A and B are shown apart, each in its own frame.
Chain A
Amino acid sequence: MKVTAQPSADTLTLLLDGELDASSAIVLDTELAKPDILNYRKVLIDCAKLSYISSAGLGVFISHLQRFQDANVKLVFFNMQEKVFNVFEILGLDALMTIVPSATEAEAA
């Protein structure tokens, strides 16, 4: 699992590549836990190359959800594969998080 950060003026895009499981969740958690991430208006998660997400992976997003909301930082997921989307949907996270089809919608969100 590889996490690539692409910062721009008010948006940070994180590209996830590989399987997000208990071991790789730590990498992502470190990235999301950085204090200056709250200076962005939006954090976009590009899931095009995210092939699998385990409960530990979901746990990382869940644990930062409140913090992002409190700081008024929008968390937007896009390019999500159907299989990964299903995992978010079953857990009910689709009603809680913004998941859009592509980068265009993500930027507009």
Chain B
Amino acid sequence: MRHPLLYLGFLLVLLSGALAIGGLVSAPGTDTPWASWLLLLADVGTLVVLVRLYFRRVEPASAPRHDEIQSLQRLAQLVQRGHTSAEVYRILLEAAVQTVHADAAWLDLDPTHPGFEGAGTSQYHGITAAQAEALRTGLQAHPAPEGDYLTNDLHLRPGFAKALPAFRSLIELPLRGLHFSYGTLYLLKVKPHTFDRADLSILQTFTSQAVLSIENLELVQTSLANQRTQEELKIASQVQDSLIPKNLPTDNWFDISSHSLAAKEVGGDFYDFLHLPGRRLAVIIGDVSGKGVTAAFHMAQMKGIFHSLMQENPLAKNERDKFPVPSRFMAQANMALTHCLEKSSFITSSLYIIDYEQGGFVFARAGHCHTLYYHAMREEVFYFESQGLGLGIIRNESYEKHIKNQFYDYSPGDVMVIYTDGIVEARGGDGTEEYGEDRLKLRLEESYFQEAEDIKSFILDDLNSFTHGHPIHDDQTLLVIKFKSAQPLPLA
């Protein structure tokens, strides 16, 4: 629609023209009618202006940039529908070509973009790979300034001086994200002077929307991957939990209580029990250096070693040799670990074989925390002082010289507290103070007369109030074994 004032203008020009001509005609012969001539002159001038205004190119209203908006919407919706990066790039190329009516276009995807399988490839529209390569070479020979670039005289660029390009107009748009560059979009037209600033700006909106979509897709993928890792860790945690005995051995001659807590989803602490023939019980505790998944693998391995070495040897000449004594077990375990433990890793462990027919036990300590013991007859709490080197420190036969057995006779009422360093090295107070062996010893002195379960709870309550407000930074394991006076089993 043209402005209504334009028509009013024509009317006025017509009227004043008639007036001027009328003035000239009605008074011939008089002195020169200057006023009428002047009016006619002004009138003709105005008419020229009005005619030019009338035939001016009328811009369509801004509303019909319909397809641009649609293309943008398509790009935006891609993410919600869970599409892939490859599809986003395809739609971007399509939409860009349609919107600016390009004759050809191509998209180069950055080879350095991580995690995208299409990285380093190109997509073409209306142009062959060879043609694009020729243009690429020409453009790279004399690089344009960084950023978006528009030229309507491509043949004037130095790179194209010799071989005239088939396309004269070019838009070059880098796809830049927050962290990396995803690629470059090229649009071409055969005729010169066919791209304008408006084209460039709508294309900029496209590319930034596409980059946003790609970045969102990547965020979604990363969070899915994280979720998967979390799920895997949860499974690992469940599997590890199944490696820890749930049903503690029960008998009328002892009472056992246990506690274990990993600092992370999975940990490197372990303990296990095994009934041996001849009223004997093997108890093992261990701690793999380090934390998390690596430690958890070695923990599982140690459990396997325990169960395979604690098999009855049918070739044994006498009853005593059917199962390895603790020091022999440690030497064999040390050899078994030689090839699968990293150089800087080691395992500490203690193995106890309790013979409750004899009322005694034998144990070997391979660098593990000292056993805390309450002696009922002497009414005394003490730590066993014994020598023994951790596993995986010396990886040859000479290890056997560094591990010893210790024999001990127990009496009813005696209490044995077995634990890992996560208990005694737990931090509290100002964050540098450790729970310590002395405090653990005091707690046993105060609770030895209780049942194993209550002794364990008493120690843990004290430990938790000591470490209150501090994160646990090492796996914690605590076993309490209380010896009782053996009662004959009730007849079934």
Contacts and interface: CB of A to CB of B under 8 A. Distances in A.
A96 B348 contact: no
A2 B214 CA distance: 44
B393 interface: yes
Contacts of A95: 387, 389, 402
A60 B343 CA distance: 9
Interface string A25-68: 00001000000000000000000000110011011101101100
A96 B346 contact: no
Contacts of B394: 96
Contacts of A65: 393
A63 B389 contact: no
Interface string B386-404: 0111100111000000100
B465 interface: no
A91 interface: yes
Contacts of B434: 83
A91 B390 contact: yes
Contacts, number: 59
B439 to A, nearest CB: 14
Contacts of B343: 62-63
Of the listed residues B343, B393, B434, the one surrounded by the most CB atoms of chain A closer than 10 A to its CB is: B393
Nearest to B345: A59
B290 A91 contact: no
A90 B393 contact: no
A93 interface: yes
A16 B344 CA distance: 19
Given A92-B367, A95-B402, A59 B389 contact: no
B289 A59 contact: yes
B367 A91 contact: yes
Contact of B289 (A29, A58, A66, A96): A58
Nearest to B437: A86
A83 B395 CA distance: 27
A15 interface: no
B381 interface: no
Interface string B365-408: 01111100000000000000001111001110000001000000
B343 to A, nearest CB: 4
A59 B366 CA distance: 15
A22 interface: yes
B387 A62 contact: no
Given A56-B290, A92-B402, A96-B394, A62 B344 contact: yes
Contacts of A96: 389, 393-394, 402
Nearest to A91: B367
A78 B389 CA distance: 21
Interface string B53-88: 000000000000000000000000000000000000
B263 to A, nearest CB: 12
A60 to B, nearest CB: 6
A27 to B, nearest CB: 14
A65 B395 CA distance: 11
Interface in B318-377: 343-346, 348, 366-370
A98 to B, nearest CB: 15
A63 B290 CA distance: 14
A96 B395 CA distance: 13
A90 B390 CA distance: 9
B22 to A, nearest CB: 103
Contact of A55 (B289, B370, B432): B289
B116 to A, nearest CB: 33
Contacts of A58: 289, 346
A92 B290 contact: no
Given A92-B367, A92-B387, A92-B402, A62 B393 contact: yes
A2 B393 CA distance: 26
B185 to A, nearest CB: 44
Nearest to A62: B393
A96 B344 CA distance: 16
10 contacts: A56-B290, A63-B344, A83-B434, A90-B367, A90-B369, A92-B367, A92-B390, A92-B393, A95-B402, A96-B389
Interface of B: 289-290, 343-346, 348, 366-370, 387-390, 393-395, 402, 421, 432, 434
Interface of A: 22, 29, 51-52, 55-56, 58-60, 62-63, 65-66, 83, 90-93, 95-96
Q: Which 8 A-B pairs have the closest CB atoms?
A: A92-B389, A59-B344, A55-B289, A63-B344, A91-B367, A63-B343, A91-B390, A92-B367
Given A62-B343, A92-B366, A92-B402, 16 more contacts: A52-B432, A55-B289, A58-B346, A59-B290, A60-B344, A62-B393, A83-B434, A90-B369, A91-B348, A92-B393, A93-B367, A93-B393, A95-B389, A95-B402, A96-B393, A96-B402
